[in-house]
A and B are shown apart, each in its own frame.
Chain A
Amino acid sequence: AQSVAQPEDQVNVAEGNPLTVKCTYSVSGNPYLFWYVQYPNRGLQFLLKYITGDNLVKGSYGFEAEFNKSQTSFHLKKPSALVSDSALYFCAVRPSSGTYKYIFGTGTRLKVLA
């Protein structure tokens, strides 16, 4: 079965420190990969996506993500965390053929401490 795993329910990081939110996937072929952020009482907002090419993808609000095909991972990173980055982050995968569906991870709560 196709799946997306976010192994950490919560990540705590001090303001100004680099942050990483992990995502691994089990999907056949060459899927499309996404990160979304959700602030309290809001819907999900698109941050960035990987289609093909450079393994480091840059997105909104200074976030970037590193794709690793051999490890089937797509980790979200930011060089210097802000308190305002505190939110719920979702990794999502869309198979490149055969379905319209997006497969979401269970989410990781990021807490940036002042």
Chain B
Amino acid sequence: DVKVTQSSRYLVKRTGEKVFLECVQDMDHENMFWYRQDPGLGLRLIYFSYDVKMKEKGDIPEGYSVSREKKERFSLILESASTNQTSMYLCASSLSAGGAQPQHFGDGTRLSIL
């Protein structure tokens, strides 16, 4: 089974801090994604990566950046955390760029910015 591991389940940070969320997948998947999940809004795509060092903005990239130096690892960076970035963050991976490949999700990081 594919395993997508997010480094922290719960995280509390302060306004203005630089925050790193880490995600690792163990199945050599090409695509990786970062979403945030908020009640009533569903999943909103922040960034995705279709190959090492390749990234594209999703629907809500403002205030975030990403890094993918190795195929298995995709990091989300909050450059200067703000309270409106308090949310559940979900990482996902999928096998290939196109086609009907389902995404595999980590268990999420619940981030609180105080």
Contact = CB atoms under 8 A, between A and B. Distances in A.
A41 B37 CA distance: 12
Given A43-B4, A100-B56, A106 B40 contact: yes
A22 B51 CA distance: 34
Contacts of B105: 36, 43-45
B65 to A, nearest CB: 18
Interface in B53-92: 56, 58, 90, 92
Q: How large is the interface on B (under 10, 10 to 19, 20 to 34, 35 or more residues)?
A: 20 to 34
Interface size class for chain A?
A: 20 to 34
Contacts, number: 53
A32 B42 CA distance: 19
A32 B102 CA distance: 10
Interface string B18-49: 00000000000001010000001111010010
A43 B42 contact: no
B13 interface: no
B42 A107 contact: yes
